[in-house]
Amino acid sequence: MATEARVAVEGIGLRKVYGLDTPFPVEVLQGVDVRVTAGEFVAIVGQSGSGKTTLLNLLGALDRPTAGRVILDGRDTAELGDDDLADLRNRAVGFVFQFHYLLPEFTCLENALMPLKIRQGAASREDVERVTALLARVGLGDQLRKRPSQMSGGQQQRAAVIRALAAQPRLVLADEPTGNLDVRAGQEVFDMMREMTRETGVAFVMVTHDEQLADAADRIIHVELGRVHEHEHILKGEG
Ligand SMILES: Nc1ncnc2c1ncn2[C@@H]1O[C@H](COP(=O)(O)OP(=O)(O)OP(=O)(O)O)[C@@H](O)[C@H]1O
Ligand SMILES: [Mg+2]
């Protein structure tokens, strides 16, 4: 029997209350359990304001839960001070947002290498070769020297996804990564995220409002009224 798949991130009994120091605290998450393993592509869906971004921020250690635990890359984040938590986050997590946030004065390749420069001061020759190959793999081989303003929205977002993968994280968290793109460019970005998940074995969690894209994930997590429910696809790959 196969050994249990490696857990990239696990949230246990996650509660999040905003405004605890105000007269009207809001409990957004009321005890949520989530586990994502290496190589999995998970979609998070739910109404606006249901707590999807809140959940993503907890899983990625951008924020701490009011109660409950986050185990990220095998480390209990509650046991880490803020500096160690930031180190863990930089090492283990890549982020993609609705807007690409590429830096306008740097090229596509320089942007994609940015996490490595930030983490280790400079990108090694191997890093440059690896990231260049990833960019080529997603159709950006002829865009390497361009600035973001010279690229299409879909190309910019594909570069942002490769930037999230550049430092070889265990987990990529994407908050509505196709939300700013037209249907076709969104589908292309989605397809490349799926392929990169398969090829790199990263765990990928994507928040989306697009039901069709969510249906093509391995698993869907619904956030509703402070809780989550899941279903796995029974007919995956069919139809
Ligand atoms: N820093 C904060 N302080 C107070 N309330 C917050 C904070 N961040 C989020 N909230 C509230 O928590 C709830 C959940 O917000 P969240 O951003 O997680 O929703 P979401 O599901 O991502 O919504 P959307 O689909 O619109 O992005 C909302 O009611 C929001 O107003
Ligand atoms: Mg959100």
Q: What is the largest CA-CA distance in the chain?
A: 55
pLDDT in tens, 17-46: 999 999 999 999 999 999 999 999 999 999
**Is 59 contained in some domain?**
yes
Closest Cα to atom 9 of ligand 1? 54
Residues with CB under 6 A from ligand 1: 18-19, 26, 28, 46, 48-54
Closest Cα to atom 10 of ligand 1? 18
Is 66 in a helix, a strand, or coil? coil
pLDDT in tens, 123-140: 999 999 999 999 999 999
pLDDT at residue 67, as a whole number: 98
pLDDT at residue 123, as a whole number: 94
**Is 96 contained in some domain?**
yes
Give one DSSP letter per residue of 19-32, joined into a string. Answer: -TTSSS-EEEEEEE
Is 127 in a helix, a strand, or coil? helix
Q: Counting ligands in written order, which one lies closest to the CA of residue 209?
A: 1
The 10 Å Cβ neighbour count of residue 159 is 26
Ligand 1 nearest-atom number relative to CA 16: 12
Is 219 in a helix, a strand, or coil? strand
Give the pLDDT of the chain (239 residues) as one tens digit per residue. 444 579 999 999 999 999 999 999 999 999 999 999 999 999 999 999 999 999 999 999 999 999 999 999 999 999 999 999 999 999 999 999 999 999 999 999 999 999 999 888 999 999 999 999 999 999 999 999 999 999 999 999 999 999 999 999 999 999 999 999 999 999 999 999 999 999 999 999 999 999 999 999 999 999 999 999 987 655 444 43
What total of structural domains would you count in the chain?
A: 1
Q: Counting ligands in written order, which one lies closest to the CA of residue 54?
A: 1
Closest CA to 93 of 163, 39, 173, 38: 173
Closest Cα to atom 26 of ligand 1? 48
Q: Residue 218 Cα, ligand 2 centroid: separation in angstroms? A: 21
pLDDT at residue 232, as a whole number: 61
Q: Which residues surround ligand 2, an ion (CB under 5 A)?
A: 53
**Is 237 contained in some domain?**
no
**Is 1 contained in some domain?**
no
Structural domain of 73: 7-232
**Is 89 contained in some domain?**
yes
Which CATH number characterizes residue 105's domain? 3.40.50.300
Q: Residue 208 Cα, ligand 2 centroid: separation in angstroms? A: 9
Q: Look at the chain and count its residues.
A: 239
Q: Residue 53 Cα, ligand 2 centroid: separation in angstroms? A: 4
**Is 239 contained in some domain?**
no
**Is 197 contained in some domain?**
yes
**Is 137 contained in some domain?**
yes
